[in-house]
Amino acid sequence: MNVPSQTLLIRSARLMDRAGPADILIEAGRIAAIGPGLAAPPAARMIDARDRLATPGLVNAHWHSPMQLSPGTSDRMNHKVFMWENQVDTANRSQEEIYLSAVIGCLQMLKSGTTSVIDHFPEQGFGLDDVATVVRAYADCGMRAVVALRIFDGEYSDIVPPPDRMSDELREALKTGNTLAPRPMRDSLDLVRAAIEKFDRTAGRIRVFPAPSNPVRCSDALLVACQDMAERLDTGVHCHLLETRTQAELAARAYGRTMVEHMEAIGAFSGRWSCAHCNWVSGPEIAIMGRRGAVAVFNPESNLKIGSGIPPIPKLLGAGVPCAVGTDGASTNDNLILQDAMQLVAILHRAGEADRRRWVTVDDAIAMATTGGAKAMLEPELGRLTPGAKADLVLYDLSAPWWVPLNDPAQQFVFGERGGSVDTVIVDGRIVVEQGRALTIDEKAVLAAAKSILPGVRSRNAGVRAIAEAVAALV
């Protein structure tokens, strides 16, 4: 991406927390000042924002770029079935396929007001060349991103039927076509360390984190090594956590205590961790998360679509756990509209909670999608419109029907608008979307190239297709 960092003066924008319009001055990638009638520095580019709402760019704190070729492929699938079906669509990708899959997701996010993402990438074994490609996708698109490298050294025992229920076909297929066969811990750790050394802080806005796929699929040594690496190299750690009831049961059986109690006991849990889902966390685990400051990342659309559970959001908020939201991948949630996730985290519990004072508020939901996500990315200067903050912001066109009449911008942001009125998107002080059009990527060419990729990937993965069919017959 060649859009340079600019000095920008946004004139007369509406802000959620101000009655009157205000100007926003952006210099060297940061918000330099906010207030009425700011003086324009020489050579500042002016943006007329009358009838525009300025908000911080949203942070999608859990996504999988490899799944972006798979919207519309997995209705009425539970977690076990979807996980294997998804292998057929994501394993053995070419570099071009990895790149396009990430870029079409970036386009969807930027054009709907999301400026940052944590990409839990990929799932199967990978190499440095794959990391280079996905980092290049974010650099080209102009997004802020964490590439969270997904590693594991144990079996995916949560998604295969118990041994006594396995068919002979499945046993046979797993021997030859298992794309999720673990590789030695040392190899994974060496690879992640090399990727961090080579790509972390690319373009000043792309981070690389270690990311255990799911702690229940990892040895204690691997989890501790991720925590140590994060401390040493100043990164976060991203993971899935207790998405399904099966994962909670496996943890209890393996450790004689809950997953989070175990992680804390072995020294592999801290405020550097962000944990996607948290559907099955127990009371003691919630207390640990609050005490340690680990971030819970909710993905309510994904959870509801595949029936994996409902996160105890009011309890986590009540315990002081930092909370964020994500979309999850396109197999379990076919769009990347983060406003949908904000709405669901606000209303998911209302029918079951008689005391309306305990309901999640609109402000809670917005905080999760901005400052909460920023915490998960280890970016304390992100997610707010204040002087000194990183200049990632979005201008929404208030003349669009979703905003008229404008009674309460925050409520209409969470419950009404769905990204369709995004006019201008700025990331790191650079304009990346203008009048609703992406400036950084040739959208037409990317979409044309991505259209016909999937059949080729599927034909490469016949071995894992046999596993997916055998599992689907059993669960």
The residue (of 97 and 328) whose beta carbon lies closer to Zn ion is: 328
Closest distance between Zn ion and the C-beta of residue 120, in Å?
6
Q: 27 φ, ψ to 5°?
A: -135, 135
What is the binding site for Zn ion (CB under 5 A)? 328
The residue (of 308 and 461) whose beta carbon lies closer to Zn ion is: 308
The residue (of 115 and 213) whose beta carbon lies closer to Zn ion is: 213
**DSSP H stretches of helix in 112-258:** 128-141, 168-177, 185-199, 220-233, 245-255
Closest distance between Zn ion and the C-beta of residue 247, in Å?
12
Nearest to 63 by CA among 334, 465, 268, 306: 334
Nearest to 426 by CA among 51, 56, 134, 1: 56
Whole-number Å distance between alpha carbons of 302 and 291:
27
Element (H, E) at 474: helix 462-474
Say if CB 431 and CB 391 are below 8 A apart.
Answer: no
Closest distance between Zn ion and the C-beta of residue 148, in Å?
10
Q: Going by C-beta distance under 8 Å and a sequence separation of 6 or more, which residues neighbour residue 469?
A: none
Closest distance between Zn ion and the C-beta of residue 314, in Å?
23
Closest distance between Zn ion and the C-beta of residue 5, in Å?
33
How many CA atoms lie within 13 Å of 368's alpha carbon, on the beta-carbon side?
36
Closest distance between Zn ion and the C-beta of residue 64, in Å?
6
Say if CB 288 and CB 260 are below 8 A apart.
Answer: yes
Closest distance between Zn ion and the C-beta of residue 332, in Å?
7
The residue (of 55 and 179) whose beta carbon lies closer to Zn ion is: 179
Whole-number Å distance between alpha carbons of 287 and 435:
45
Nearest to 223 by CA among 265, 252, 181: 265
The residue (of 26 and 151) whose beta carbon lies closer to Zn ion is: 151
The residue (of 14 and 64) whose beta carbon lies closer to Zn ion is: 64
* Residue 362 CB neighbour total at 10 angstroms: 17
The residue (of 264 and 328) whose beta carbon lies closer to Zn ion is: 328
Instruction: Let me know how many helices (H) and strands (E) the chain has, helices first.
Output: 18, 17
Shortest-Cβ-distance residue relative to Zn ion: 328
Closest distance between Zn ion and the C-beta of residue 279, in Å?
12
Closest distance between Zn ion and the C-beta of residue 101, in Å?
15
Closest distance between Zn ion and the C-beta of residue 318, in Å?
25
DSSP conformation letters of 215-258: GGGS-HHHHHHHHHHHHHHT--EEEEES-SHHHHHHHHHHHSS-
Closest distance between Zn ion and the C-beta of residue 212, in Å?
12
The residue (of 326 and 383) whose beta carbon lies closer to Zn ion is: 326
Q: In this structure, which amino acid lies at residue 215?
A: P
Q: Going by C-beta distance under 8 Å and a sequence separation of 6 or more, which residues neighbour residue 22?
A: 12, 13, 15, 34, 35, 36
The residue (of 238 and 430) whose beta carbon lies closer to Zn ion is: 238
The residue (of 66 and 113) whose beta carbon lies closer to Zn ion is: 66
Which residue do the tokens 């490469």 mark? 460
Closest distance between Zn ion and the C-beta of residue 108, in Å?
17
What radius of gyration, in Å, describes the C-alpha atoms of the chain?
22
The residue (of 65 and 178) whose beta carbon lies closer to Zn ion is: 65
The residue (of 23 and 328) whose beta carbon lies closer to Zn ion is: 328
Whole-number Å distance between alpha carbons of 28 and 5:
6
Closest distance between Zn ion and the C-beta of residue 63, in Å?
8
Residues in the chain, overall count = 475
Pairing of strands 8-15, 22-27: antiparallel
Instruction: Kindly state the tokens that stand for 59.
Output: 């942070």
The residue (of 8 and 323) whose beta carbon lies closer to Zn ion is: 323
- Coil, strand, or helix at residue 396? strand
What is the rounded end-to-end Cα distance, in angstroms, of the chain? 46
